[in-house]
Amino acid sequence: MEVRVIVLVVTMAIAAACCATGGVAATTTTSRLKGLRVHLTHVDAHGNYSKEQLLQRAARRSRHRMSRLVARTTGVAMSSSSKAASGGVGGADLQVPVHAGNGEFLMDVSIGTPALAYSAIVDTGSDLVWTQCKPCKDCFKQSTPVFDPASSSTYATVPCSSAFCSDLPTSKCTSASKCGYTYTYGDSSSTQGVLATETFTLAKSKLPGVVFGCGDTNEGDGFSQGAGLVGLGRGPLSLVAQLGLEKFSYCLTSLDDTSKSPLLLGSLADISESAAAASSVQTTPLIKNPSQPSFYYVSLKALTVGSTRIALPASSFSVQDDGTGGVIVDSGTSITYLEVQGYRALKKAFAAQMALPAADGSGVGLDLCFQAPAKGVDQVEVPKLVFHFDGGADLDLPAENYMVLDAGSGALCLTVMGSRGLSIIGNFQQQNFQFVYDVGHDTLSFAPVQCSKL
């Protein structure tokens, strides 16, 4: 059996078309950094998995990550295996051996002097940069040797008096006046150790004085794809803030593409003029949530499903006074999750406009599926799907960014599901679009680009 990402005939009524009308920078590093191109590798790229297994694994990791992110914003853990009758929140458990997910992409980074190579999870939903360190008290297995601070001539601990220490959500002063930290991810995943500075090497460029967590107590199934994590969030401890970057961008290749995805930092981060027409570039404001300063929030106003425009209630899709709600753009979640009020409306509109019977998508962990005709799906008509953001920015998706086919069961499934407390624009919907996070001007821009050619 295999899952195919397919190109379908997309239909939308003319009426629908007409309606769619920081932190403290590490200055020694910033002065040397003009622009960097780093390659991202999907966590399953070298697993020799079938397309069906790739989708199953991504769906399961996405449910775990969604539950974790919701727990961070609401303080209440969602059951990632439950399926609410009110809108398909969660999904059936999959019998797939897979680690829980804390991110979908890895980057190569070297740490210390002499530099030692590691692979780290890239996370736009958190800030702290960290790796496992000797002597380990409680560490997960990793494919490379654990970093030994004693072997590096450029390693230095951060004192308790440092502003970086006070930027941590949880810190304490050790007996040696070192900044001890505990950084949690909303579930049982956490890293604990001391804050330090070190020379990091990215794409052969040395970046001295990067503040990172040297973790000797690290727990969480989802970390074992790498040796640590590189936070690209909006807070002062993230790599973006420390390097004083005005912007960064990425362009994610599709799930079954073996090509690496480019991550562009600094001056290289603009949308490729050769790859995207200027008229196709869409821009929407980035919104700040004081309760969750790491996340990249956007204002999602409406959806278009074929001929139906769905207005989204501000009570569920705007950031609330208590910090809950809102919509984030996240590279580490594959499936898009919409607050259940919006998801129910989307699901109803999709079902009404699909000329196919309903099908069971539990085999791939998805909620809304249809039985594809035996003759094939090349000419199956599916409703157009457009996300309408504040500022008139429309994410007009090609069919392969929201519909997948489980060739084994013949189920044609939507890669959007329901959630409670937080909505997430996932990376299935982002594939083959270049996304530019302009943190200096608080905007998010995107345009369709063939990421493997960027």
Residues that are catalytic: 123, 330
Are 201 and 155 contacting, i.e. CB atoms less than 8 angstroms apart? no
Q: Give the closest residue to 106 by CA, choosing from 150, 193, 164, 41.
A: 41
Alpha-carbon span 361 to 364, nearest angstrom: 6
For residue 452, give the DSSP letter: G
Q: Are 298 and 287 in contact (CB under 8 A)?
A: yes
Cα–Cα distance between 390 and 285 in angstroms, integer?
7
Region for 46 from its dihedrals, namely left if φ exceeds 0, alpha if ψ lies in -120 to 50, beta otherwise = alpha
Rounded CA Rg of the chain? 22
Q: Dump the DSSP string for 114-153.
A: TTEEEEEEEETT----EEEBSSPSB----SSPPB-GGG-T
In 3D, which of 99, 290, 111 has the Cα closest to residue 196?
111
Pairing state of beta strands 190-202 and 156-157?
Answer: antiparallel
Pairing of strands 433-438, 247-251: antiparallel
Type of residue at 318: S
> CA 40 to CA 343: how far, in whole Å?
31
Helices (H), 247-332: 314-317
- How many whole angstroms separate alpha carbon 437 and alpha carbon 249? 6
What are 360's two structure tokens? 């069971």
Beta carbons within 8 Å of 291's beta carbon, 6+ residues apart = 73, 322, 323
The answer to whether residues 28 and 209 touch, using CB atoms and an 8 Å cutoff, is yes
Task: Return the C-alpha torsion angle 290, 296, 302, 305, nearest 10.
Answer: -150
